[in-house]
Amino acid sequence: MKQLLFIGLGGFIGTIARFGVSKLNLYWHFLSIPMGTLMVNVLGSFLIGILVGISQKSDLLSPDLRLFLMVGVCGGFTTFSSFSAENLMLMQNGQFLTAFIYTASSLLLGFLAVYLGFFSANLL
């Protein structure tokens, strides 16, 4: 039960943070790409990369804290379900190039962010 509370609290925090960052969709436009969601996915990937790096390097994060941060906060913050739905909408609107650019950017920048987060954690 304690673990569920840690995950739930982390998810609440991550979801609220995602809502705030995804508001960028209203103000920041580039080729119809939902930039707020892209930013959330990249930041979430970077954060989880740092957390994985720290967890592998030390015992600084207890199992409960890892659940809170990785499963709760990061799980509530990242938005790949929104990502998928947005790509479907782009394709339904005939914006196939935009959907491809959005997908490729999300994957490439997400993987790069995880690597940079992991690398950054190993510098600590």
Question: Which residues, listed in sequence order, are joined to residue 33 by a DSSP beta bridge?
Answer: 30
| Contact assessment for residue 104 and residue 87, using Cβ atoms and an 8 Å cutoff | no
DSSP letter (8 states) at residue 95: -
Does residue 37 surpass a pLDDT of 90? no
- State how far the Cα of 48 lies from the Cα of 74, in Å rounded to an integer: 7
Cα–Cα distance measured from residue 22 to residue 4, given in angstroms and rounded to the nearest whole number: 26
Is the confidence at residue 117, as pLDDT, over 80? Answer: yes
Entry pTM: 0.75
CA gap 21, 14 in Å, rounded: 10
